[in-house]
Amino acid sequence: MVGGSIQHLRRWGFTPATRRTQVISVVEACLLLSLGIFVASSSPVSASMAAKPTIDATSPLPVSTLGVKYGIRVTGGGRPRTTVPTTVPTTVSTTVPRTVSTTVPTTVPTTVPATVPTTVSTTVPTTVPTAVPTGQNCSDPVWSSSNPEDSYNVDPNDAEYWWVNNDAWNGSAGPQTIYVCDQSSWYATSDQPNVQGAVETYPDTEYDVGGRNSLSTEPISRFHSITSTFSEDYPTAGSWDAAYDLWLNNWSIETMIWNQWSGGQDYWPDQATISLTLDGVPYKFFDNGGELMFFRETQVSSGSVDILAAYDWLVQNGYVSAGDVPTQLEYGVEICSTSGSETFPMTGLTFSIS
């Protein structure tokens, strides 16, 4: 386009001498005119201008004579210089959480039973339940009865080992009432006539070996121990004896062991002439027509008795056999007569069998 303008100037009479100056002036005018048109119209850059060398955007741009003259800074391509940040952040956050929960429960229950049962019991318990002597009178009875033959089962939910019996068995017996706290603590109030010295009642505690519902079949020879303790507070008046009544072979053989007696019952110990010792305690023995009777040489109201020792003595002396079977153990008071109504308290009793 600029070349075309020069041809027109020649046609208009410009001389060669003045051509350079004139041309420059014309060119400058044209340039200024073009720039004014560009700025005013915001039109796209013309092809001629687009063809101008592009200046490196990263280097300082030269200022043309035109720009200096007219106070305008022009860059190649007609684009305002864009300042690009050259400072790039070099500090990158490298901090990551360094504290990580690494706490794992390190306290583990280490306490275990130090004693571990290593012995398995293969022995069936043969020691039967026993009552603990209280040494006291029954003060708050749980059961009572005036029925001559009434009985109280102390352990109805068990094998029914223990019973307390009023046992006014003789047809000539007078009135009697028994009051029971448990098998080792009870009392009977009894008013008995003297009928030729006969036994009228036997209030007692009964222990069935093996339980009433499943009586034992074990013979004497199989037992290691049969012992008992007792305590009572019977009156001094009347005629009576405090005694064990022991049965073998389903009540076919009776053995009695007397601890104390009163009144007309003195007769029977006097019949005993055989002396012996059971567990260090001196006794006398009397075979009363098959009723085997032991009497302490010294009467006591409390103490212990080795029942198995008595059975062993009977076996050794031919009164019973080692094959005979203990069926029932009882302890109470045989009452023959009283001086009016009297009270007979049982204050303690145990049986222990193995």
Separation between Cα atoms, residue 218 and residue 220, nearest integer Å: 7
Closest Cα to residue 232, out of 352, 351, 349, 350? 349
What is the percent of the chain with per-residue pLDDT over 90, rounded to a whole number?
60
pLDDT band for position 157 (50/70/90)?
confident
- List Cβ neighbours of 56 (8 Å cut-off, separation of 6 or more): none
Tokens of 199: 């036994």
Predicted pLDDT at 147? 98
Per DSSP, 304 falls in state: E
For the cut 90, the answer to whether the pLDDT of residue 54 exceeds it is no
What is the pTM assigned to this prediction? 0.64
Tokens of 212: 């009433």
For the cut 60, the answer to whether the pLDDT of residue 34 exceeds it is no
Strand order in the sheet with 302-306: 143-145, 176-182, 185-190, 342-353, 226-232, 302-306
Predicted pLDDT at 313? 98
Which amino acid is residue 171, in one-letter code? G
Q: What is the pLDDT of residues 242-278, one digit of tens each?
A: 999 999 999 999 999 999 999 999 999 999 999 999 9
Cα 330–chain centre separation: 40
Q: For residues 323 and 221, is the Cβ–Cβ distance under 8 A?
A: yes
Tokens of 153: 């089962």
Predicted pLDDT at 28? 47
Closest Cα to residue 314, out of 268, 216, 246? 246
For the chain, the average pLDDT equals 76
Separation between Cα atoms, residue 262 and residue 260, nearest integer Å: 7
Predicted pLDDT at 116? 40
Q: For residues 324 and 219, is the Cβ–Cβ distance under 8 A?
A: yes
Q: For residues 332 and 180, is the Cβ–Cβ distance under 8 A?
A: no
Domain ranges of the chain: 2-78, 143-353
Predicted pLDDT at 137? 86
More confident site: 163 or 20: 163
Predicted pLDDT at 159? 84
Angle at 299 between CA 298 and CA 303, to 5 degrees: 100
Tell me the mean pLDDT in the region 5-32. Answer: 42
Predicted pLDDT at 96? 40
- Select the highest-mean-pLDDT range: 33-47, 124-138, 203-217: 203-217
Predicted pLDDT at 175? 98
Looking at domain 143-353, its CATH architecture is Sandwich (2.60)
Predicted pLDDT at 165? 98
Tell me the mean pLDDT in the region 113-135. Answer: 41
